[in-house]
Chains A and B, each alone.
Chain A
Amino acid sequence: MDRSRITDLYFAEARSKLIDLAAFLDRIERSEGADDFRMKAFRAALHELGTPGPDKAKKILLALSDPTEEPAAQAGTKSASGAWAGR
Chain B
Amino acid sequence: MRYIEPHAHMVSRVTDDYAAMVTAGCRAVCEPAFWAGFDRSSSQGFYDYFCQLTDYEPRRAAQFGLPHYSWLCLNPKEAENMSLAKEVLAMIPSFLDRPNVLGIGEIGLNKNSRNEVTIFEKHVELAVRYNQMILVHTPHLEDKWKGTRLIVDMLKRNQGVDPARVIIDHVEEHTVDIVLDAGFWAGITLYPQSKCTPSRAIDMVEIYGAQRLWLNCACDWGHSDPLAVPKTAIEMKRRGHSEAAIDRLIYGNPLQFLSQNPKFIVV
| Chain A residues close to B by CB (< 8 Å) | 1, 5, 9-10, 55, 57-58, 61-62, 64-69, 71-84
B110 near A57: Cβ-Cβ < 8 Å: no
A84 to B150, CA, bound (A): 17
A67 to B149, CA, bound (A): 11
A57 to B229, CA, bound (A): 21
Tell me if B68 is interfacial: C-beta within 8 Å of chain A. Answer: no
- What is the distance, in angstroms, from B39's C-beta to the closest C-beta of chain A? 9
Task: Give chain B's interface secondary structure class.
Answer: helix
Tell me if B117 is interfacial: C-beta within 8 Å of chain A. Answer: yes
B174 near A65: Cβ-Cβ < 8 Å: yes
A79 to B113, CA, bound (A): 13
Residues of A within 8 A of B238 (CB): 9
A77 near B111: Cβ-Cβ < 8 Å: yes
Set A67, A72, A78, A82: member contacting B114, Cβ < 8 A: A72
Tell me if B116 is interfacial: C-beta within 8 Å of chain A. Answer: yes
Beyond A58-B174, A75-B80, whether A65 also contacts B144 by CB under 8 A is: yes
A61 to B145, CA, bound (A): 9
A71 near B114: Cβ-Cβ < 8 Å: yes
B141 near A80: Cβ-Cβ < 8 Å: yes
A72 near B112: Cβ-Cβ < 8 Å: yes
Tell me if B239 is interfacial: C-beta within 8 Å of chain A. Answer: yes
Residues of B within 8 A of A64 (CB): 141-142
| Chain B residues close to A by CB (< 8 Å) | 35, 77, 79-80, 110-117, 139-146, 149-150, 172-174, 199-200, 203, 238-240
A80 to B138, CA, bound (A): 12
A80 near B142: Cβ-Cβ < 8 Å: yes
B113 near A71: Cβ-Cβ < 8 Å: yes
CB pairs A–B below 8 angstroms (28 shown): A1-B239, A9-B239, A57-B173, A58-B173, A61-B144, A61-B173, A61-B174, A65-B146, A66-B143, A66-B145, A68-B146, A71-B113, A71-B150, A73-B114, A74-B80, A74-B115, A75-B80, A75-B113, A75-B115, A76-B113, A77-B111, A78-B35, A78-B77, A80-B111, A80-B139, A80-B140, A80-B141, A82-B141
Extra pairs beyond A57-B173, A75-B115 (9, CB < 8 Å): A1-B239, A9-B239, A57-B172, A57-B200, A66-B146, A71-B116, A72-B113, A75-B80, A82-B142
A80 to B137, CA, bound (A): 14
A78 near B110: Cβ-Cβ < 8 Å: yes
A35 to B111, CA, bound (A): 24
- What is the distance, in angstroms, from A8's C-beta to the closest C-beta of chain B? 11
A57 to B111, CA, bound (A): 22
- What is the distance, in angstroms, from B75's C-beta to the closest C-beta of chain A? 10
Residues of B within 8 A of A10 (CB): 199
A67 near B146: Cβ-Cβ < 8 Å: yes
Beyond A61-B145, A62-B174, A80-B143, whether A72 also contacts B199 by CB under 8 A is: no
The 8 closest A-B pairs by CB, nearest first: A80-B141, A75-B111, A80-B140, A65-B145, A61-B174, A58-B173, A75-B113, A57-B173
A78 near B111: Cβ-Cβ < 8 Å: yes
A80 to B144, CA, bound (A): 10
